[in-house]
Protein backbone atom coordinates (compact mmCIF):
# COMPACT_ATOMS: atom_id res chain seq x y z
CA UNK A 1 0.00 0.00 0.00
CA UNK A 2 2.87 2.42 0.65
CA UNK A 3 4.46 1.91 -2.76
CA UNK A 4 1.49 3.37 -4.74
CA UNK A 5 1.35 6.24 -2.26
CA UNK A 6 5.04 7.02 -2.84
CA UNK A 7 4.52 6.89 -6.61
CA UNK A 8 1.56 9.24 -6.31
CA UNK A 9 3.62 11.74 -4.32
CA UNK A 10 6.47 11.56 -6.82
CA UNK A 11 4.04 12.04 -9.71
CA UNK A 12 2.37 15.02 -8.00
CA UNK A 13 5.78 16.57 -7.26
CA UNK A 14 6.89 16.22 -10.86
CA UNK A 15 3.68 17.87 -12.05
CA UNK A 16 4.06 20.73 -9.58
CA UNK A 17 7.67 21.39 -10.57
CA UNK A 18 6.89 21.15 -14.28
CA UNK A 19 4.11 23.69 -13.89
CA UNK A 20 6.48 26.38 -12.57
CA UNK A 21 7.32 29.07 -15.09
CA UNK A 22 9.01 32.41 -14.90
CA UNK A 23 6.54 34.96 -13.61
CA UNK A 24 5.98 38.15 -15.56
CA UNK A 25 7.85 41.11 -14.18
CA UNK A 26 6.62 44.66 -13.68
CA UNK A 27 6.82 47.17 -16.49
CA UNK A 28 8.47 50.47 -15.59
CA UNK A 29 6.00 53.20 -14.64
CA UNK A 30 5.65 56.05 -17.13
CA UNK A 31 5.69 58.77 -14.50
CA UNK A 32 7.53 62.02 -14.00
CA UNK A 33 9.47 63.13 -17.05
CA UNK A 34 8.94 59.85 -18.94
CA UNK A 35 6.05 61.15 -21.13
CA UNK A 36 8.23 64.06 -22.28
CA UNK A 37 11.12 61.71 -22.92
CA UNK A 38 8.85 59.42 -24.93
CA UNK A 39 8.00 62.44 -27.06
CA UNK A 40 11.71 63.09 -27.57
CA UNK A 41 12.31 59.47 -28.49
CA UNK A 42 9.45 59.50 -31.01
CA UNK A 43 10.86 62.67 -32.62
CA UNK A 44 14.28 61.01 -32.80
CA UNK A 45 12.73 58.01 -34.55
CA UNK A 46 10.88 60.28 -36.96
CA UNK A 47 14.14 62.14 -37.66
CA UNK A 48 15.87 58.82 -38.39
CA UNK A 49 13.41 58.19 -41.18
CA UNK A 50 13.99 61.65 -42.55
CA UNK A 51 17.69 60.94 -42.90
CA UNK A 52 18.90 63.25 -40.14
CA UNK A 53 22.62 62.42 -39.81
CA UNK A 54 22.46 62.91 -36.03
CA UNK A 55 19.27 60.89 -35.65
CA UNK A 56 20.88 57.66 -34.44
CA UNK A 57 23.07 59.54 -31.97
CA UNK A 58 20.10 61.53 -30.66
CA UNK A 59 18.05 58.37 -30.21
CA UNK A 60 20.98 56.62 -28.57
CA UNK A 61 21.44 59.50 -26.15
CA UNK A 62 17.75 59.51 -25.27
CA UNK A 63 17.43 55.78 -24.60
CA UNK A 64 20.88 54.67 -23.41
CA UNK A 65 20.74 56.66 -20.18
CA UNK A 66 18.05 54.22 -19.01
CA UNK A 67 20.69 51.48 -19.26
CA UNK A 68 23.28 53.17 -17.07
CA UNK A 69 24.70 50.90 -14.42
CA UNK A 70 24.00 47.72 -16.37
CA UNK A 71 26.43 45.25 -17.85
CA UNK A 72 26.63 46.30 -21.50
CA UNK A 73 23.19 47.85 -21.69
CA UNK A 74 24.34 51.21 -22.98
CA UNK A 75 26.27 49.65 -25.86
CA UNK A 76 23.32 47.40 -26.68
CA UNK A 77 20.99 50.43 -26.68
CA UNK A 78 23.35 52.25 -29.06
CA UNK A 79 23.25 49.26 -31.38
CA UNK A 80 19.45 49.27 -31.20
CA UNK A 81 19.53 52.92 -32.31
CA UNK A 82 21.85 52.09 -35.20
CA UNK A 83 19.64 49.22 -36.36
CA UNK A 84 16.56 51.41 -36.17
CA UNK A 85 18.36 54.07 -38.23
CA UNK A 86 19.16 51.53 -40.92
CA UNK A 87 15.67 50.05 -40.94
CA UNK A 88 13.79 53.36 -41.00
CA UNK A 89 15.97 55.32 -43.40
CA UNK A 90 13.82 56.80 -46.14
CA UNK A 91 10.50 55.66 -44.67
CA UNK A 92 7.74 58.23 -44.59
CA UNK A 93 5.27 58.29 -41.73
CA UNK A 94 3.65 60.72 -39.37
CA UNK A 95 5.22 61.65 -36.06
CA UNK A 96 2.33 60.04 -34.17
CA UNK A 97 3.15 56.71 -35.83
CA UNK A 98 6.58 56.77 -34.19
CA UNK A 99 5.13 56.81 -30.65
CA UNK A 100 4.47 53.04 -30.39
CA UNK A 101 8.06 52.33 -31.45
CA UNK A 102 9.31 54.93 -28.98
CA UNK A 103 7.32 53.27 -26.20
CA UNK A 104 8.66 49.82 -27.12
CA UNK A 105 12.24 51.17 -27.17
CA UNK A 106 11.73 52.72 -23.76
CA UNK A 107 10.23 49.54 -22.27
CA UNK A 108 13.10 47.54 -23.75
CA UNK A 109 15.81 49.67 -22.15
CA UNK A 110 14.06 50.67 -18.91
CA UNK A 111 12.60 47.30 -17.84
CA UNK A 112 14.67 45.25 -15.43
CA UNK A 113 12.57 42.24 -14.48
CA UNK A 114 10.75 41.04 -17.57
CA UNK A 115 10.12 37.36 -18.11
CA UNK A 116 11.29 35.62 -21.25
CA UNK A 117 7.68 35.61 -22.44
CA UNK A 118 7.48 39.39 -22.01
CA UNK A 119 10.75 39.86 -23.89
CA UNK A 120 9.39 37.77 -26.76
CA UNK A 121 6.32 40.00 -26.71
CA UNK A 122 8.48 43.13 -26.95
CA UNK A 123 10.38 41.64 -29.86
CA UNK A 124 7.14 40.77 -31.64
CA UNK A 125 5.71 44.25 -30.97
CA UNK A 126 8.82 45.93 -32.36
CA UNK A 127 8.79 43.81 -35.50
CA UNK A 128 5.11 44.38 -36.22
CA UNK A 129 5.38 48.12 -35.50
CA UNK A 130 8.28 48.47 -37.92
CA UNK A 131 6.59 46.40 -40.59
CA UNK A 132 3.49 48.61 -40.31
CA UNK A 133 5.74 51.52 -41.33
CA UNK A 134 6.98 49.68 -44.41
CA UNK A 135 10.18 48.15 -43.06
CA UNK A 136 11.04 44.86 -44.75
CA UNK A 137 10.75 41.68 -42.68
CA UNK A 138 14.51 40.93 -42.49
CA UNK A 139 15.36 44.44 -41.29
CA UNK A 140 12.50 44.44 -38.81
CA UNK A 141 13.73 41.08 -37.51
CA UNK A 142 17.27 42.39 -36.92
CA UNK A 143 15.87 45.25 -34.85
CA UNK A 144 13.61 42.85 -32.95
CA UNK A 145 16.58 40.57 -32.27
CA UNK A 146 18.46 43.53 -30.81
CA UNK A 147 15.53 44.14 -28.45
CA UNK A 148 16.32 40.72 -26.96
CA UNK A 149 20.02 41.57 -26.71
CA UNK A 150 19.25 44.84 -24.93
CA UNK A 151 16.94 43.11 -22.48
CA UNK A 152 19.55 40.43 -21.77
CA UNK A 153 22.05 43.19 -20.97
CA UNK A 154 19.80 45.28 -18.72
CA UNK A 155 17.80 42.62 -16.91
CA UNK A 156 18.25 42.04 -13.21
CA UNK A 157 16.03 38.95 -13.25
CA UNK A 158 17.21 35.78 -14.94
CA UNK A 159 15.32 32.51 -15.01
CA UNK A 160 15.70 30.57 -11.79
CA UNK A 161 16.41 26.86 -11.62
CA UNK A 162 12.85 25.92 -10.66
CA UNK A 163 11.26 27.85 -13.55
CA UNK A 164 11.40 25.02 -16.01
CA UNK A 165 8.79 26.10 -18.51
Which DSSP category does 156 fall into?
Answer: S
In a domain, 15, yes or no: no
CA distance 80 to 155: 16
Mean per-residue pLDDT for 92-114? 94
Mean pLDDT of all residues in the chain? Answer: 86
Residue 68 vs residue 100, higher pLDDT: 100
CA distance 81 to 65: 13
In a domain, 17, yes or no: no
Q: How many domains does the chain fold into?
A: 1
| Inter-CA distances, 16 with 2, 12, 20, 127, 145, Å | 21, 6, 7, 35, 33
In a domain, 26, yes or no: no
Mean per-residue pLDDT for 6-34? 67
Mean per-residue pLDDT for 99-123? 94
For residue 62, pLDDT over 90 is answered with yes
Give the max Cα distance, the chain: 77
Q: Tell me what pLDDT residue 46 has.
A: 94
Percent of all residues in the chain with a pLDDT value above 70, rounded to a whole number: 83
In a domain, 109, yes or no: yes
Q: Are 126 and 143 in contact (CB under 8 A)?
A: yes
Residue 163 vs residue 24, higher pLDDT: 24
What contacts 148, CB < 8 A, 6 or more positions away?
119, 120, 123
In a domain, 43, yes or no: yes
In a domain, 144, yes or no: yes
DSSP for 88-127, written as a single string: HTT----HHHHHHHHHHHHHHHH-SS--HHHHHHHHHHHH
CA distance 152 to 11: 35
Range of the domain at 92: 34-154
In a domain, 11, yes or no: no
How much is the pTM?
0.80
DSSP H stretches of helix in 65-94:
73-88
In a domain, 20, yes or no: no
Mean per-residue pLDDT for 47-59? 88
Mean per-residue pLDDT for 54-69? 90
Q: Tell me what pLDDT residue 153 has.
A: 93
Percent of all residues in the chain with a pLDDT value above 90, rounded to a whole number: 60
Amino acid sequence: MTRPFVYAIIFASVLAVAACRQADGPLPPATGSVPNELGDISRDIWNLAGGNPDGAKDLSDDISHYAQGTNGGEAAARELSNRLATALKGKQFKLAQAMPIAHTCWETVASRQLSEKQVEGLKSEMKSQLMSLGVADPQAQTVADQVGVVQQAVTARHRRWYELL
